[in-house]
Amino acid sequence: QLLVPVSGGRLTLGTWQGIYVWEHRLHGHVREIVVQIVGE
């Protein structure tokens, strides 16, 4: 689970921060990424 703040419709990340998704396997597999946005 990862919580990332959003401000003005953009991710609020620091200068050297980023989000990366990769897999360390010999063969790729199907993966599903679920994003839930909760607003005020």
Assess contact for 7 and 14: CB atoms under 8 A.
no
Candidate from 5-9, 12-16, 21-25 with smallest mean pLDDT = 21-25
CA–CA distance, 37 with 40 (Å, rounded to integer): 10
DSSP letters spanning 7-23: ETTEE---TT-------
Q: Has this prediction a pTM greater than 0.75?
A: no
Confidence of residue 1 (pLDDT cuts 50, 70, 90): confident
Q: Tell me the pLDDT of the chain averaged across its residues.
A: 85
Question: Tell me, what's the pLDDT at 22?
Answer: 82
Assess contact for 19 and 4: CB atoms under 8 A.
yes
Going by the DSSP 8-state scheme, the letter that residue 11 receives in this structure is E
Between 32 and 1, the more confident residue is: 32
Q: Report the DSSP beta bridge partners of residue 11.
A: 6
Does residue 24 have a pLDDT over 90?
A: no
